[in-house]
Amino acid sequence: MSLAPLFNPKKRKPDPKPARVNLRIIIGIGLIVWGLVFLYIAIVDIWIKQLLEIYPLLITCFGLVIGVVLMLWEVIYRDKYYQKPNRKHKGD
């Protein structure tokens, strides 16, 4: 192992190509999981067991909201994060 790439950027290996990942599938699975947990808490804990703690329901609502925001971000910025990054080292 050589320390030359740390001190001389021109001796570094080229950056690997970014992995193409379909974030819609990943975020969609997350939304499905949060939705199922929301339904479980809403139906079982609140209606059947008559537990009135609202915090678990709020947490799942926030999880769903964050998932929807991430899905919107993915739709808007999909082309941008698939492009090759323009990285420049200090010595270039």
The H helix count followed by the E strand count for the chain is 3, 0
Prediction pTM value: 0.65
> Phi and psi (nearest 5°) for 22?
-85, 100
Note the pLDDT of residue 42. 86
With respect to residue 51, please indicate whether it lies within any of the assigned structural domains.
yes
With respect to residue 58, please indicate whether it lies within any of the assigned structural domains.
yes
With respect to residue 74, please indicate whether it lies within any of the assigned structural domains.
yes
* pLDDT one digit per residue (tens) for the chain, 92 residues: 677 777 777 777 887 877 777 889 999 999 999 999 999 988 887 777 776 678 888 999 999 999 999 999 998 888 776 666 565 655 55
**The domain containing residue 58 runs over which residues?**
23-82
Q: What is the count of structural domains for the chain?
A: 1
